[in-house]
Amino acid sequence: MLAVVIVPLRDTLIVLRNRGSKAVAFGIHFATAVVMLISAELLRGLRMPSAVAGAPVSVETSTSAVVGSPYRSQACS
């Protein structure tokens, strides 16, 4: 996600090199890069603790959902 921030930063440089408006360069492209950086950091901070620690995630399995299924075979009854 952080690698994607490079795109609006490069756009900022392109606008400035081609003598574009500083307001457009910093107000649109650079501001977009800053918002993307903040979003990336917020998303990185919201990761689940078990996923970060490498702990296995338990998955509860149940056959009760299959009992009323119209796709079960006749051999199961």
The model's pLDDT over 25-59, given as tens digits with 9 standing for 90+, comes to 999 999 999 999 999 888 888 875 555 555 555 55
**Residue 72 lies inside a defined structural domain of this protein:** no
The predicted structure's pLDDT at residue 64: 52
In contact, 8 and 27? CB cutoff 8 Å: no
Does residue 10 fall inside a structural domain? Answer: yes
pLDDT of residue 1: 73
Q: How many domains are there within the chain?
A: 1
69 falls within a domain: no
Q: By C-alpha distance, which of 21, 3, 36 is closest to 12?
A: 21
3 found inside a domain: yes
Distance, in Å, from the CA atom of 40 to the CA atom of 31, rounded to the nearest integer, reads 14
Would the pTM of this model clear 0.85, i.e. be above it? Answer: no
| Domain housing 42 | 1-46
Q: Residue 60 domain-assigned? A: no
Mean pLDDT of 66-73: 57
**Closest by alpha carbon to 31, among 42, 23, 40?**
23
For residue 18, tell me if it sits in a domain: yes
**31 vs 3: CA distance, rounded Å:** 16
Residue 14 has what pLDDT? 96
Q: Does residue 54 lie within any of the structural domains?
A: no
